[in-house]
Amino acid sequence: MPPFQDILEVILLQNYNTRLVVLSTTMLGIAAGLIGSFLLLRKRSLMGDALSHATLPGVAIAFAVMVSLGGTGKSLPGLLLGATLSGVAGILTMLLIRNTTRLRDDVAMGFVLSVFFGVGVASLQMVQSLPGASAAGLESFIYGKTASMVQSDFLLIAIVAGVASLISLALLKEFLLLCFDDAYASAQGWPTLALDILLLGLVTAVTVIGLQSVGLILVIAFLITPATAARFWTQRLLPMLLLSAVIGGISGWLGASISALTPNLPAGAVIVLVAATLFLISMLFAPERGVFPRIFRHARLRKKVDRQHFLRAAYEVLESTADGEKVANVPFDLSRLLDKRTWTPHQLKQILRTARREDHIESTGPGKILLSEPGFGEAARVTRNHRLWETYLINYADIAPSHVDRDADLVEHILGAELVHELEKYLDDPHLSPPVPPSPHPLADA
């Protein structure tokens, strides 16, 4: 555990180098979160990976060009310019393959990723043999070397990340239309190809400035993981963009801080691990689409369905024992419920336990059951709603009465009271005037 003084120094950004690294990775994470959201919605998650690998030949070629011009070849702006040009070449190659052939996007991205990365690795080996040149340190673009950042790197990342973020927000409406329905956008006269190229250009810019911090292998995680994590929390675009930027910024800030406190841990890998941890938390616990909340919602829905099936089965049993039109709430045998539904005795016991806890039944003699007053009213309401749906499906959806019971079951448990009132107005049938209309088909046992 690092000393408290070191932790406080990192949190307060008192160290100059730590301040540069933390602020740089935080701004990069915010920009990557915004741009990565559009990539995710565009269903091009592999695009960032292909572009990051496509930048490697540009780094090696830029080094060779600068050495041939009499320099050392280690100028970061020159290397990033070469990476940018190589990334743009990768974009153009992908667009060329996609627009001139019948191959899919994933084929084009896989081709660019493998071929450009292979050329880059071969080029790095070649430049190491150049006379009077030292290619040591170029491999840092593969794995990232955040600790070597200087003020010029910080200014470059701040400018590029800021401009990319502003452009993505300024063209939010256009990018939104492009992501969700590019065919409709093209039919409406929007320049979809130009917007697509601009979006890929922003991805290239964020990828290139991310080479110094996380490296070309891990930059894809910085682009996609925050956006994917944010997707679990909301169904709306604007909150998703905000959350993605926040998750990206937190990943950069926390990962760089942990790396600063533990010198043996590379910052790029720690940043990606922090982002992956936030993704895992979002996947498991996000209330909108998380795994555990979804399991709980399904369990609640299952209990609601079982409760409604129990009450409807009980009401139908009481209907079959009624002397006149009016259904009376009287005790009846539990075995009648097993005849109505395909429940096992163990399942019925669990359902009865829940019904007793919700005050829907009263205790009676052995093998007997009696609905409580609120339980009988709820049973009448559930049965009436089910038969409204059956009547609607028979009259307007042309479903046979012998099959309508199961079809009504598919919708009645997830639709609210407002839709039931709409059904009542829409049907406007005098036969529906009783509190519980008769079943539109003969009732049968399970």
Q: Could you report the per-residue pLDDT of 22-78, keeping only the tens digit for each? A: 888 899 999 999 999 998 888 877 777 788 788 888 888 888 888 788 766 667 778
What length is written for the chain?
446
Our CA dihedral for 260, 80, 216, 252, rounded to 10 degrees, sits at 30
Please check the confidence at residue 434 and state whether its pLDDT lies above 80.
Answer: no
Tens of pLDDT along 410-420?
A: 777 776 777 77
**pTM beyond 0.85:** no
Structure tokens at 225: 């993981």
List Cβ neighbours of 158 (8 Å cut-off, separation of 6 or more). 23, 24, 27
Judged by average pLDDT, the poorest of 94-108, 128-142, 266-280, 318-332 is 128-142
| pLDDT tens digits, one per residue of 160-217 | 999 999 999 999 999 988 888 888 888 888 888 888 889 888 988 888 888 777 777 6
Q: Specify whether the CB–CB gap between 69 and 75 falls below 8 A.
A: no
* pLDDT score at 141: 66
Supply the angle between the helices 215-231 and 237-261 in degrees, to the nearest 10.
130
Q: What is the pLDDT of residues 74-122, one digit of tens each?
A: 677 788 888 888 888 888 888 888 888 887 777 888 888 888 888 888 8
Tens-digit pLDDT profile for residues 295-316: 999 998 888 888 888 998 898 8
pLDDT recorded at residue 48: 74
Choice among 28-37, 152-161, 281-290, 334-343 with the minimum mean pLDDT: 334-343
Residue bearing tokens 């609210």: 416
Domains of the chain by residue range:
4-288, 294-432
Instruction: Give the pLDDT mean for 380-387.
Output: 86
Q: Are 255 and 270 spatial neighbours (Cβ–Cβ below 8 Å)?
A: yes
Decide which of 5 and 145 is more confident: 5
Could you tell me how far CA 155 lies from the centroid of its own chain? 32
On whether the CB atoms of residues 336 and 371 are closer than 8 A, the answer is: no
For 43, 49, 94, 124, 174, the CA distances from 118, given in Å and listed in that order, are 25, 14, 16, 10, 35
| Six token digits for residue 123 | 């080029």
pLDDT of residue 325: 67
CATH code of the domain occupying 294-432: 1.10.10.10
- CATH 1.10.3720.10 assigned to 4-288: no
pLDDT band at 250 (very low <50, low <70, confident <90, very high): very high
Of the candidates 343, 365, 422, which has an alpha carbon nearest to the alpha carbon of residue 388? 422
pLDDT of residue 445: 59
Query: Which strand (E) or helix (H) includes residue 418?
Result: helix 417-427
Q: Let me know: does 33 contact 248? Beta carbons within 8 Å.
A: yes
Cβ burial of 431 (10 Å; 0-12, 13-18, 19+) is exposed
Q: Of residues 34 and 327, which shows the higher confidence score?
A: 34
Residue 14: name the closest of 265, 274, 257 by CA: 257
Asked if 271 and 25 count as a contact pair (C-beta separation under 8 A), the reply is yes
- State percent of the chain over pLDDT 70: 90
